[in-house]
Copies of this chain bind each other. A is one copy, B any other.
């Protein structure tokens, strides 16, 4: 089984490497000049998604947004031009659930099966192959590509039909972002009251308020290390998907709406490329955004 990877960023590159290391034949395509380390490790590089798809049984996409996925799947040089009937496209980007379902229908007309399979776990999870993978689409198709997904993560969960993986990922980002705001408010309050945020974080980690967010982002907040990590602007994109999805089904999300205001303010303050943990800076004087 030959696996093509499209998108070799902070997530896609270590994921492709993990599949390669487990003995699969891997081909890659990346818009920018990032294929080098994969080629050194034994992957073949192709000049377009279409060229890669021509020789692949499975094509994994790990790009940024909905329009990026549309371009590499359905664009003029997209995989739909050349992929063989029976090929499987696994989109592991985080994009809008409804757009995914539309793309899956379009690919199906060309005999290409699609799964949406976004992940949680961040760059560390990608490197250590400990990602959680939330899958939408046909269960039988998932069964066929499971050996590949097992190279990438420790938890692969089938959530339902096309788009269900993206919906689960939206729920994940929603819980994660609201939790991050809560941790930021807790540690900002601690500091403002004269407590050591590092001691407060340690105490909270052993109680009911414990979370991976408190551990990871709370640690960066307490140590004031705001280099990414994952850039805040990417969470902004995800939160947009969350609110758009909620809007489409009439779901009120009062806390997520407040967090969107904070993330907007962060980006407005020119900190979109900082780590999400810099949300705490909005809560500290002098205030640059949300009140």
Using CB atoms and an 8 Å cutoff, list the residues of chain A in contact with chain B.
97, 119-122, 125, 131-132, 134, 154-155, 157, 159-160, 164, 167-168, 170-179, 181-183, 185-190, 192-196, 199-200, 202-204, 206-214, 216, 242, 245-246, 249-259, 261-262, 283, 285, 287, 290-291
Knowing A251-B188, A290-B252 touch, does A172 contact B259 (C-beta < 8 A)? no
State in angstroms the CA–CA spacing of A262 and B207 once bound together. Answer: 23
What is the distance, in angstroms, from A182's C-beta to the closest C-beta of chain B?
Answer: 3
A252 to B283, CA, bound (A): 6
Nearest residue (CB) in B for A170 is B189
Interface pairs (27), CB distance under 8 Å: A120-B206, A120-B209, A132-B203, A155-B203, A157-B202, A157-B203, A160-B194, A164-B195, A167-B189, A168-B195, A175-B209, A176-B182, A176-B209, A182-B256, A185-B254, A189-B245, A189-B246, A208-B212, A208-B213, A210-B212, A211-B213, A250-B285, A252-B287, A254-B258, A254-B261, A255-B259, A258-B258
For A131, list chain B residues within 8 Å (CB).
Answer: 207
Contact: B193 with A183, CB < 8 Å? Answer: no
How many copies of this chain does the complex contain?
2
B-side contacts of A261, CB under 8 Å: 254
B175 touching A178 by the CB < 8 A rule? no
Of B175, B208, B259, B291, which contacts A120 at CB under 8 A? Answer: B208
- Closest B residue by C-beta to A179: B179
Residues from chain B with a CB closer than 8 A to the CB of A206 are: 120, 132, 154-155
Residues of B within 8 A of A259 (CB): 255
Given contacts A206-B155, A211-B210, contact A160 B195 (CB under 8 A): yes
Interface core residue of A186, A214, A291 (most chain B CB under 10 Å): A186
Contact present for B249 and A192 (CB under 8 Å): yes
